[in-house]
A and B are shown apart, each in its own frame.
Chain A
Amino acid sequence: MTEIKDLNRFWNAYKESRLGLIGLAILLFFVTLAVFAPYIAPYDPHEMFKPMEHPGSDHLLGTNDIGQDILSELIYGARVSLFIAFFVSVVSGIIGTAFGLLSGYFEMFGFFLMRIVDAFLAIPRLPLIIVIAAFMRPSIWNLIFIFIILGWPITTRIIRSEVLSLRTRNYVEAARMVGAPDTYILMKHILPNVFPLLVVRLIIEASHVIIAESSLSFLGLGDPTAKSWGMILHYAFVYPTIFISDLWMWWMLPAGLCITFTILSLTFIGYALEELVNPRLRGMTRI
C-alpha cells in the first residue's frame, strides 16, 4: 500500500512540471510507434519499391535509394533506437549501482574501483566507441555490449558519492550499532535512498546512448540489418545530391527530427525529475 501511495505522491509532484509533461508525452508517442510498428507502418521497411520516389499517396515520405518506404523505415527505426537506449541504460544502471553501493560502503574496494572509473572517464567516449566498433562485427548486440561497458562508470561515481553521504546518517549508524549485517543496511537503508538519483541517471544515460548510437550509425558503424534513425541519416548523407536537391526534406529531415525529439523528451523528463530529486533546486518556481 505504501508503494502505491508513494507513487501517487510522486506523480502529483511530477505533473506540476510542464516540461516534464511535454517530455513524457513526446516519449510516449515514440514508444507507441516502436511497440505497434507492424500495425502503424504502411509497409515492411525492407520491402523494395521503385527507388527515389518523391512523396505521394503511395509513399507519404517517398522511397530511398534502394526503394524502401521511408515512413516505414522511420517507424521501425523507433524500435531500434529506443530498444538499445533502454536496454543499455537499465543494464549499465544495475551494474553501476551495484559497484556504486559496494565502493561507497567498503573503503578499500571503493578506492581501487575509483581509479578504474577515473581511467574510463579520462578516455573520450565516442572515439573509443568508434575504434572498438570498427574492429568488431557491426551488430546490435555488439553495440549494446560496448555501450554498457562504457556506461557504468559514471553511474558508479554518482551513486558512490551519494552512498558516502548516506552512510554517515544517524539511522544508518544506528542500524550498524545494533548489529545489522552490511547487506541488510545496503539493501534496506541505502538502496531505497539512492533510487531517485538513479532514475535521473537512467534517463540521462538513455539520451546519451541515443546520441552515441545515432552518431555511430551516421558514421557507418551501425548494424546494417537493424536500421535505426542514425542509419537512415547515414545513407541520406552519403547520397550525392542530398544537399542540392529537395531530397533532404523527406529523407533527412524526418529522421533527424525523430532523434532530436526523442533526446528532447528525455532531456525534459530528466530535468523535471532532477528538480524533484535535488533538494537544492526544490522550492523554486517550477516550469
Chain B
Amino acid sequence: MHRITKITGYVAIILVVLSFNFFLPRLMPGDPLSFLTGAPGMDMPIVLDEETRAKLLTYYGLDKPLSQQFYDYMLGILHGDLGWSIYHNAPVSDILIGALKWTLLLVGTSTALYMVLGILLGAISAWNRGGKSDVGLLVSLLSIGSFPPFFLGMLFIILFSVKLNLFPAFGAQTPFMGYSSLLEEASDILYHLFLPATTLVISHIGGVYLLMRNSMLNVIGEDYILTARAKGMAEWYIMRKHAMKNALLPITTMIALRTGFMIGGTILVETVFAYPGVGRLLFDAVTYRDYPLLQGAFLIITLVIIAANFVADMVYVQLDPRLRHD
C-alpha cells in the first residue's frame, strides 16, 4: 500500500513538471516565438535565421489547437525530443546527453564524499558532546557552510589555480589532449574534478553533519545504549553498532531531499569552474536566452532528482522493518 501511494505520487509529480514546462512559455505575453526574439530584460534581441525559425515553429506547433500541441509535446518527450537549441543550433536532447555524464560524475562523487564525512563527523561530535572536539567541529562546519558555493569556488580558483597553480581552474578535461592510456585519461578527469567536487562537499557537509549530530544525540539518550555500556562493551563498538546504525535511519530520507538542494549548488559550481555539465548549460541558456535548452535542462535535472527521491524512498522501506509490511 505504502509503495503504491508513493509511486502514484511520483507519477503525478512528473506530470505536473511536464505540464509546467509546456505551459510556461505559452503563458508569456505574446507567443513563445515573439517572446524569444524580444524577451524582456535582455540586452540585444535574438535574430533567428529562417531555418531555426522553422524548426522552432514546428516544435512549438503554434498553429495547432492547444490540446494537439500538448499531445505532440508529450509524444515528443516520450521519443526524447526536447526541442531545438537556438544557441547551439542542435537538438536539445543531444546537448543534454553529452553534459549529463559530467554532472552525474560531479554530483555522485561529491554526494558520496560529503555524506560519509558528514555522518562520521556528526557521530564523533555527538559522542563527545560538549567536549572540545564537538564545539570545534560544530563551529567550524557551521562557518564554512555559510560560504555560498559560487563564492567558495571563486576563492578556490584564485588560491589553488592562480596563486598556487595546483589545480586547473576550468573544464573537465585538458583540451586537445590525446590520451595514451585509460589511466592517463582517468587521472586527468579526476584532476579537473578535484576543485569543483571539493567546493560542493564543503558547502553541503554542514547540513548532514548537523542532522547526524542531532539524530545521534537522540539515540544516545536511549536505554539500550545504557544497557550496552553496563555490559561493559567497548565505547567504539557501542557507537558503531548500537548508536550509529539507529541514528542513520532518519538520515536516509534526507539524502534525497539534499540531492535536490545539491543540484542548486552544482549549477553554481559548474558555472564558476566552466565545468561542461547540465548546470553550466542552464547558465549558458540563461545568458543567451536559449529557452528550449533552458527548459530541457530543467526537465532533465528535475527527472534525475525525482528518480533519486524514489530510490531513497524504496531504500528507506527496506531499511526500516516497521514500514515493510505496511
Contact = CB atoms under 8 A, between A and B. Distances in A.
B151 interface: yes
B142 A256 contact: no
B68 to A, nearest CB: 23
Nearest to B5: A115
Interface stretch (A47-55, A124-132, A180-188): A124-132
Nearest to A132: B24
Contacts of B158: 243, 248
B26 to A, nearest CB: 11
With most chain A CB atoms within 10 A of its CB, the pick from B9, B151, B260, B301 is B151
Contact of A127 (B24, B147, B267): B267
Nearest to A125: B264
Interface in A195-233: 211-212, 214-215, 218-221, 224, 233
B146 interface: yes
A219 B286 contact: yes
A215 B301 contact: no
Contact of A243 (B129, B157, B264, B309): B157
Contact of B264 (A118, A124, A131, A248): A124
A29 to B, nearest CB: 15
Contacts of B306: 122
A268 B263 contact: no
A219 B271 contact: yes
Contacts of B268: 215, 218-219
Interface residues of B, number: 60
B263 A126 contact: yes
A195 B53 CA distance: 55
A277 to B, nearest CB: 13
Contacts of A281: 214, 217
Interface in B274-326: 282-283, 285-287, 289, 291, 294-295, 297-298, 301-302, 305-306, 309
Contact of B142 (A115, A212, A215, A271): A271
A123 interface: yes
With most chain A CB atoms within 10 A of its CB, the pick from B147, B161, B295, B309 is B147
Interface of A, secondary structure class, is: helix
Contacts of A131: 24, 294-295, 298
A267 B267 contact: no
A7 interface: no
Interface in B94-151: 129-130, 135, 138-139, 142-143, 145-148, 150-151
Interface in A231-287: 233, 237, 243-244, 248, 252, 256, 259-261, 263-264, 267-268, 271, 280-281, 284-285, 287
A211 B305 CA distance: 20
Interface of B: 9-10, 12-13, 16-17, 24-25, 28, 40-41, 129-130, 135, 138-139, 142-143, 145-148, 150-151, 154-155, 157-158, 161-162, 169, 214, 217-218, 221, 257, 260-261, 263-264, 267-268, 271-272, 282-283, 285-287, 289, 291, 294-295, 297-298, 301-302, 305-306, 309
Interface of A: 19, 115, 118-119, 121-128, 130-132, 134-138, 211-212, 214-215, 218-221, 224, 233, 237, 243-244, 248, 252, 256, 259-261, 263-264, 267-268, 271, 280-281, 284-285, 287
